[in-house]
Amino acid sequence: MAAGGLPVPERDNRAMLHVGLTFNKKPESGEAQDLPDDFFAEFDTDDTILAIGRALESMGNRVTLIEADEEAYGKLRRLRPDIVFNFAEGIRGESRESHVPAFCEMLGIPYHGSGPLTLGIGLNKARSKETLIVHGVPTPRSVVLSGPVSDIPLRFPLIVKPIAEGSSKGIRNDSLVRDIDALNAQVRLVLSDYGQAAIAEEFMPGDEFTVGVLGNEEPIVLPIIKKNFGELPPEANPIDSFEAKWVWDTPEKPLNMIACEPLPKALAREIRHVVIATYRAFDCKDWARIDLRLDAEGRVNVLEINPIPGLLPKLEENSCLPRAGHEAGLSYAELVNAPLYYALIRHDLLHKAEQKAYARLGEKLEAVRRAVPTFNTPQGRRQLEELRAIETPRTSRKAGAA
Ligand SMILES: Nc1ncnc2c1ncn2[C@@H]1O[C@H](COP(=O)(O)OP(=O)(O)O)[C@@H](O)[C@H]1O
Ligand SMILES: [Mg+2]
C-alpha cells in the first residue's frame, strides 16, 4: 500500500486496478486540546484505515492511501487512481463529506459510494428529514432551533442534536430532555460547543435498529441489527449517546451493544420496506446504513442515513455494518469490497479488476440477496414496484415538509 505522497511500489502493477482510498484519520492525542472530547469522533484510526486498505488489496487491487486533507485535490489530480474508495468524512465545513466526491467529479475520476448531493443532504439532519417527508417515509417530528425558546410545538420528551454531525457527536446522555429549561440548556450547549443550530426531535421510545444496504438497482438489505440498550448502566437513557458509543463501551469492558435476532416477520418486512424507500429517496449509491426507531405505536421511523457507514474491523468493536455483513456470511474483506464491486459495475470498470476474485464476490452477494426475503415474495415484489413508482423526481416540498 503506497501512502499519498510516496513513490508507487516497484513491481510493474500497471495492469492492476488502482484504488485510491480517501480517508480522514484521528489526530494523535495531544493535537486536539481545547476542543470538545468528541470533536474527531467521525474520523478513523490507523487500524481501521489500514484494515480497509488491506481488504481492498486482498482482491488483487493496488491501493494508494490518500489522506483527504487540504492537499487532497492535488493528490487526486496527480495520482489519478482508476477509482476512489471514498471513506473521507471531510475536514471542515457544512459540505465536508461532499468534498472528495466533488473533487473526483471535477477531475473525472470515478468514485465509490454516494455523490456530493446525497452526502451533503445526509449530513444535515433537517434537510434529510425534508427528503424523507417528501418521499412519505416516517421520521420523528422536529424543529430546528438557533436559540432558546419559551414554547415548542412538539411533545416532550425530546432529543436535542447538532444539526450536522454524525457518530453521536453532541448527543450526550443529557440530550434527552423533558422540559423547556432542559431543552434550552441543550440548545445553548450545541450552539456554543458545535457552532451550529440544534434540531429538537420527538423522542421515539421503542426499539432501535440499524440496517446496512449494498448495491443499486435491487439493493441487498443486510440482516437487521438491533441496539441493546439494556447493556448500559442503569442511570443511562436508552439512546446511542456519545457515552454509550465511546465511554461506557470500551475494549477493556466491552458491552454487547448490538444484536441480530429474529424479529417478528411483519416488523422485519416493514423495516426493510422503509429502508429501501429511504435508500431510494436519497439516491444512495453502492452502500449506506440507515438508523431507525419505533414510535410509541410501534411504527418504524427513520432517524438518519449514513451514506459513509463505519467499518471498524474487529467484530467486538460493535461496528454495525461489519456485524451485519458477518451475520450475512460476508467476511470483513468481502463486505468492504462489496460496495466497490457495485461501483465498478456502475462505472463499467469491472473488467479492470481481478476477474476471479470479483466474480466470486458477485456470486456470494447474489447468494446473500437470495437469502434475504426482501423481494422474493409476491408481496416483496409488489413493494419493490411501489418503491420504483415513488422514485419519480419531485420538486415540490409542500407535502408536509418541515
Ligand atoms: N428521535 C429520536 N428518538 C429516540 N432516540 C433518538 C432520536 N434521535 C436520536 N436518537 C438517539 O441518538 C442516537 C444518535 O442519533 P442519530 O440521529 O443517529 O445521530 P448520529 O448522526 O450522531 O448517529 C441514535 O442512535 C438514537 O439512539
Ligand atoms: Mg446515527
3-state SS assignment for residue 208: strand
Distance set, CA 340 to CA 80, 111, 129, 321, 332 (Å): 17, 9, 28, 15, 13
Residue 311 near ligand 1, beta carbon < 6 Å: no
Instruction: Residue 352: name the closest of 110, 127, 29 by CA.
Output: 110
Q: Quick check: CB of 304 below 6 Å from ligand 1? A: yes
Q: What pLDDT, on the 0 to 100 scale, is given for residue 246?
A: 81
Per-residue pLDDT tens, the chain, 402 aa: give them. Answer: 655 544 444 444 556 999 999 999 987 765 555 666 666 777 888 999 999 999 999 999 999 999 999 999 999 999 999 999 999 999 999 899 999 999 999 999 999 999 999 999 999 999 999 999 999 999 999 999 999 999 999 999 999 999 998 777 899 999 999 999 999 999 999 999 999 999 999 999 999 999 999 999 989 999 999 999 999 999 899 999 988 888 888 778 888 889 998 899 999 999 999 999 999 999 999 999 999 999 999 999 999 999 999 999 998 888 999 999 999 999 999 999 999 999 999 999 999 999 999 999 999 999 998 887 655 455 555 655 565 454 433 333 333 333
> Cell digits for 334?
468481502
Please tell me what DSSP assigns to residue 27: P
First-to-last alpha carbon distance for the chain, in angstroms, is: 46
- Residue 101 CB partners (closer than 8 Å, separation 6+): 86, 111, 113, 114, 115, 116, 119
CA distance 378 to 128: 31
42 lines ligand 1 (CB under 6 A): no
CA 11 from chain center: how many Å?
A: 36
Dihedrals φ, ψ of 51, to 5°? -65, -40
> 232 in ligand 1 pocket by Cβ < 6 Å?
no
- What is residue 2's predicted lDDT score, i.e. its pLDDT? 59
- Probe residue for ligand 1, chosen from 168, 248, 258, 301 as the CB with the greatest number of ligand atoms within 8 Å: 168
Does residue 203's CB lie within 6 angstroms of at least one atom of ligand 1?
yes
Ligand 2 centre distance from Cα of residue 39 (Å): 16
CA angle 92, 193, 166 (to 5 degrees): 55
The Cα–Cα gap between 323 and 313 comes to 9
Our answer on whether the CB atom of 204 is closer than 6 Å to any ligand 1 atom is: yes
Q: Among the bound ligands, name the one nearest to the CA of residue 302.
A: 1
Which atom number of ligand 1 is nearest to the Cα of residue 204? 3
Phi then psi for residue 169, to 5 deg, are: -65, 130
User: How high is the pLDDT of residue 374?
Assistant: 58
Q: Residue 254 has what pLDDT?
A: 81
Which of 194, 232, 291, 302 best tests ligand 1's pocket when mutated (most atoms within 8 Å of CB)? 291
pTM of the model: 0.89
Ligand 1 atom at minimum distance from 169 CA? 22
Does residue 89's CB lie within 6 angstroms of at least one atom of ligand 1? Answer: no
Rounded CA Rg of the chain: 21
* Ligand 1 contacts CB of residue 303 (under 6 A): yes
330 lines ligand 1 (CB under 6 A): no
SS3 328: coil
pLDDT on residue 166? 77
Contacts of 339 (CB under 8 A, 6+ apart): 112, 113, 214, 286, 287
Mutate to test the pocket of ligand 1, among 89, 124, 156, 161 (most ligand atoms within 8 A of CB): 161
Domains of the chain: 2-113 (3.40.50.20), 140-202 (3.30.1490), 208-389 (3.30.470.20)
Identify whether the C-beta of residue 361 lies closer than 8 Å to the C-beta of residue 334.
yes
pLDDT value, residue 168 = 79
